[in-house]
Amino acid sequence: MLAAVGTNQRTTTVTPLEPEIIENPNFPGQTTISWDNPTEGTPVAGLIQPVRAETAVRLSIASLSSVWEVHTDPLDIQPEGRVRIGASDYEVLEARHWVSHSELVVSEL
C-alpha cells in the first residue's frame, strides 16, 4: 500500500520500542517491564493521520484527541506496545498486519 502512495508521501519515521525488564520493586525476586529507558528497534517509513470515526467506534474510543492512525511499511508490533514518531512516544491500541504494510491506532503518551 505504501509503495502506491510513494516515498514523497511518507511523512514520518516510526520506531518500535521494546521495554526494559527490571526487578519488581514491590515483589522481590520478580521482574516487570519498564518504559523509562526503552530499546529502539529498526525505524520504518510511515504516514500518520487522524483516526477515522469508524475506527473510534470499533475501538470504543470516547475522545479523539491524541489518537492517530498510522500506516507503515511492515512493522513487528503488537497492541500495548509502544512506538516513537518524531520526538513523541505513543501506545499502540490496535495493530493490523498485512504482507505489504501495517496499520496502527496509537494514542500519544
| CATH for 90 | 2.40.10.270
The Cβ of residue 92 has, within 10 Å, a number of other Cβ atoms equal to 20
Total structural domains in the chain? 1
Q: Is the pLDDT of residue 59 over 90?
A: no
Q: What's the one-letter identity of residue 31?
A: T
Average pLDDT, the chain: 86
Convert the pLDDT of each residue in 81-106 to its tens digit: 999 998 899 999 999 999 999 999 99
Convert the pLDDT of each residue in 15-39 to its tens digit: 999 999 999 988 999 999 999 999 9
3-state secondary structure of 56: helix
Gyration radius from the chain CA atoms = 15
Kindly report whether the global pTM for this prediction surpasses the value 0.75: yes
State how far the Cα of 62 lies from the Cα of 52, in Å rounded to an integer: 13
State how far the Cα of 88 lies from the Cα of 109, in Å rounded to an integer: 8
